[in-house]
Amino acid sequence: MKYYIIAGEASGDLHGSNLIRQIKLKDNLATFKCWGGDNMQAAAGTLHQHYRDLNFMGFVEVVKNLRTILNFLTNCKEDLLKEKPDALILIDYPGFNLRIAEFAADNNIPVYYYISPQVWAWNSSRVKKIKKLVKKMLVILPFEKAFYEQYDMDVDFVGHPLIDALENWKTNPSFKSENGLDHRPIVALLPGSRKQEIRKMLPLMLSQVQQFPEHQFVVAGAASIDEEFYWRLISNPDVRLVPNQTYDLLNSSQAALVTSGTATLETALFNVPQVVLYKGNPISYQIGKRLVHVKYISLVNLILDRASLIELIQGDCNAEEINTELRSVIFSQSKRNRMKDDYRDLRVALGGPGASERAADVIFRDLMGV
């Protein structure tokens, strides 16, 4: 069968690649057309569009790049009609993917949504529309199944694919020596995967370097961002950059400063105490604040439904507050122990390994009418 898969960011690319591999094990005639990144290209053998060209976040940023986004939407629709896939699999990225879902449904292309858009956070009224467009919803957060079921949607909780990613990951025993890291404890800096958020968050994170001379600060570089971009922001010879080695970095770190997103979950699954940071365009933030209805911004806190991690948001996200909280997660053993206890609860809530296999099974069996 022919599968058309769309992911618009780094985490979606990772999970999409694992899904592709699992589909191949079930469907030996499977072919793929993808919008994603390097991981999906390696798994599928083809890539129509790289997510780095689609990566716009925030209301103001989307408006500024509206013409580009509309061109991509047109291109995607034309390609869908050309390919006529047996299944369109959408991975998160709702601003783009929900528009494509509507087009696909109008053209009788079955739509499967893997990794739900966070409509439970920002616009639950859109669920009724999604129900008309999506044949089956595959969710990865435990509370999402009950949310969709109250709207009588066909939904499966498959578990979180990050568990799979960690199960498949193999540590590099030479990580420190290969990257020029010394004996000092490491503070990992995870500023995000989009240039606009890195540009805003990394300088704030780097404001702490001089305050912790007994530690070394190491930036996790995203695969889709060139190293020169980071070095223009770093400008400090004592700071290290490790491109595309986030898991090895987290595996070696004592603490982390993390931009809100999937990275908070990855950091937790590596048992690293962290401080969550978020600072966006002021206009985008004020608009979003009025539309989003959740108690927390980090996935860890949302899943646990309690304030396990400190979240420094917008005005609170400043050098002084970051310093206070970073000192706490480094030097307070009781706080570190509490956070790690919460991480154990998190793993239980996320379910065991096999999310990618379960998702592939749900899609393939549905296509086969089993």
Please tell me the distance from the alpha carbon of residue 81 to that of residue 66, in angstroms, as a whole number: 23
Our CA angle for 348, 349, 353, nearest 5°, is 65
| Phi/psi-derived region of residue 351, left when phi > 0, alpha when psi is between -120 and 50, beta in every other case | left
- pLDDT band for position 194 (50/70/90)? confident
Average pLDDT (188-214) is 94
Four-point Cα dihedral 43, 46, 51, 54, nearest 10 = -160
Highest mean pLDDT among 100-104, 192-196, 258-262: 100-104
Which residues make up the CATH 3.40.50.2000 domain(s) of the chain? 2-159+354-368, 168-350
Rg (CA), the chain: 20
Residue 284 pLDDT more than 60? Answer: no
Residue 54 pLDDT more than 50? Answer: yes
Our CA angle for 48, 164, 99, nearest 5°, is 40
Looking at domain 2-159+354-368, its CATH superfamily turns out to be Glycogen Phosphorylase B; (3.40.50.2000)
SS3 assignment, position 187: strand
Write down the pLDDT at residue 63. Answer: 53
Write down the pLDDT at residue 109. Answer: 97
Residue 59 pLDDT more than 80? Answer: no
What is the DSSP code (8-state) at residue 26? H
Residue 291 pLDDT more than 60? Answer: no
Question: For 168-350, CATH number?
Answer: 3.40.50.2000
Please tell me the distance from the alpha carbon of residue 277 to that of residue 258, in angstroms, as a whole number: 6
Mean pLDDT, the chain, integer: 90
Write down the pLDDT at residue 121. Answer: 62
